């Protein structure tokens, strides 16, 4: 007789938890309004062991991995068939965690984080030296956001503060707004799938590079560039600081 489920035992803060896990899919239904801590704990454990997790964000479903684990980072590239010249963005549990991944935190980053986080705005800053070069494709920069989706935010916090967050699709395929649109191979490679049903999925996060002056729009997305531009233009610089400029990236 085929075994289709098992009891999973997991030690959480001194207490043993056990629950049934479907071995065919390793998928957990997650209600964002009543998140199962057991499922998130298990997903964080998979991440910390170097595995991959599929999880919801405020835009699309994402592939997660530990950004400090070079082998896990390479697994993400391989799973997606992603060009190694394209950096992987991160989700942080909060602004403090985001700043830990940055070698510098420009005034413009502070302005945008204060106004748009949590939410679908990824801010590109100089990458901390402890991050593997493969993660940022040797650019020395990393895109980070604090997600407004409660599942991805909690997963980042339980996993240690930072997780990889690239769309759960293979290179060239459209991003997935629901688990049913995620390719079978990615589902097979994932240690855990956190299923929150259908997501907004209209646009990705906006990506803005504030590691350069003027600031550059790398990718249009859910947060309109005009809002970002006005925020940077009207923000009060610290004494002696230059007012960040603005432009839209071309040929990117």
- DSSP letters of 68-133? T-HHHHHHHHHHHT--TTSPPPEEESSHHHHHHTBS---HHHHHHHHHH-SSSEEEEEEBPTTS-T
**Average pLDDT value for residue range 84-110:** 97
* pTM metric for this prediction: 0.84
Average confidence score pLDDT of the chain: 87
Q: What's the pLDDT band for 250 if we cut at 50, 70, 90?
A: very low
What CATH number does the domain located at 7-248 have?
Answer: 3.90.870.10
Q: Tell me how far CA of residue 251 lies from CA of 110, 160, 178, 217, 224, in angstroms.
A: 27, 36, 31, 12, 19
- Ordered by start, the domain boundaries in the chain are 7-248
Q: What's the pLDDT band for 106 if we cut at 50, 70, 90?
A: very high
| pLDDT over threshold 90, residue 21 | no
**Average pLDDT value for residue range 117-131:** 98
Within a 10 A sphere around the Cβ of 62, how many other Cβ atoms? 26
Report which secondary-structure segment, H or E, holds 40.
helix 37-48
| pLDDT over threshold 90, residue 162 | yes
Q: What's the pLDDT band for 241 if we cut at 50, 70, 90?
A: very low
């Amino acid at each position: 007789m085929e075994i289709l489920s098992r009891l999973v035992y997991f030690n959480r803060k001194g207490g043993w938890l056990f629950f049934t896990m479907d071995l065919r899919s390793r998928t957990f239904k997650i209600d964002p309004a009543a998140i199962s801590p057991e499922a998130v704990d298990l997903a964080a454990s998979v991440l910390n062991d170097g595995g991959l997790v599929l999880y919801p964000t405020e835009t699309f479903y994402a592939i997660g991995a530990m950004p400090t684990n070079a082998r896990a980072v390479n697994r993400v590239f391989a799973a997606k068939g992603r060009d190694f010249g394209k950096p992987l963005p991160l989700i942080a549990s909060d602004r403090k965690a985001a700043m830990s991944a940055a070698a510098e935190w420009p005034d413009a980053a502070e302005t945008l984080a204060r106004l748009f986080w949590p939410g679908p705005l990824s801010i590109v800053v100089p990458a901390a030296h402890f991050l593997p070069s493969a993660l940022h494709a040797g650019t020395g920069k990393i895109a980070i956001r604090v997600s407004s989706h409660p599942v991805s935010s909690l997963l980042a916090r339980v996993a240690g503060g930072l997780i990889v967050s690239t769309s759960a699709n293979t290179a060239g395929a459209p991003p997935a707004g629901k688990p049913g649109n995620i390719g079978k191979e990615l589902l097979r490679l994932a240690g855990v799938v956190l299923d929150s049903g259908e997501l907004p999925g209209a646009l990705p996060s906006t990506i803005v590079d504030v590691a350069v002056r003027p600031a550059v729009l790398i990718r249009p997305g859910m947060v309109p560039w005009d809002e970002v531009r006005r925020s940077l233009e009207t923000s009060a610089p610290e004494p002696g600081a230059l007012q960040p400029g603005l432009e839209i990236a071309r040929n990117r």
